[in-house]
């Protein structure tokens, strides 16, 4: 299935957020996820069924100065 992940088309097999993060190589727990411009609470990640064409944003914190 094709999703738009952080603005780029990705062909993925995952249909749930945790599986998508694993498939894309995200490790650790310090990030937020939005699906179709709506932030999804971490507790709901396993419930959300991703669909063809969904826009997913994965945001990781950064330090800078």
Residue 26 sits in a domain whose CATH number is 3.10.20.30
State whether residue 15 is helix, strand or coil: coil
Mean pLDDT per block of 10 residues along the chain (65 residues) reads 97 97 90 96 96 96 68
Containing structural domain, residue 40: 2-59
**What is the pLDDT at residue 50?**
98
Residue 64 lies in a domain: no
Residue 12 lies in a domain: yes
The number of distinct structural domains making up the chain is: 1
**What is the pLDDT at residue 63?**
63
Residue 24 lies in a domain: yes
**What is the pLDDT at residue 48?**
95
| 4 neighbors 52 (Cβ within 8 angstroms) | no
**What is the pLDDT at residue 65?**
59
| 17 neighbors 46 (Cβ within 8 angstroms) | yes
Residue 14 lies in a domain: yes
For 1-54, list the strands marked E by DSSP.
2-5, 8-11, 32-35, 38-40
């Amino acid at each position: 299935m094709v999703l738009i992940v952080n603005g780029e088309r990705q062909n993925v097999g995952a249909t749930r957020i945790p599986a998508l993060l694993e498939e894309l190589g995200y490790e650790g727990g310090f990030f937020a996820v939005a699906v179709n411009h709506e932030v999804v609470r971490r507790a709901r990640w396993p419930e959300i069924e991703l669909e063809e064409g969904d826009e997913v944003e994965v945001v990781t914190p950064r330090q800078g100065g």
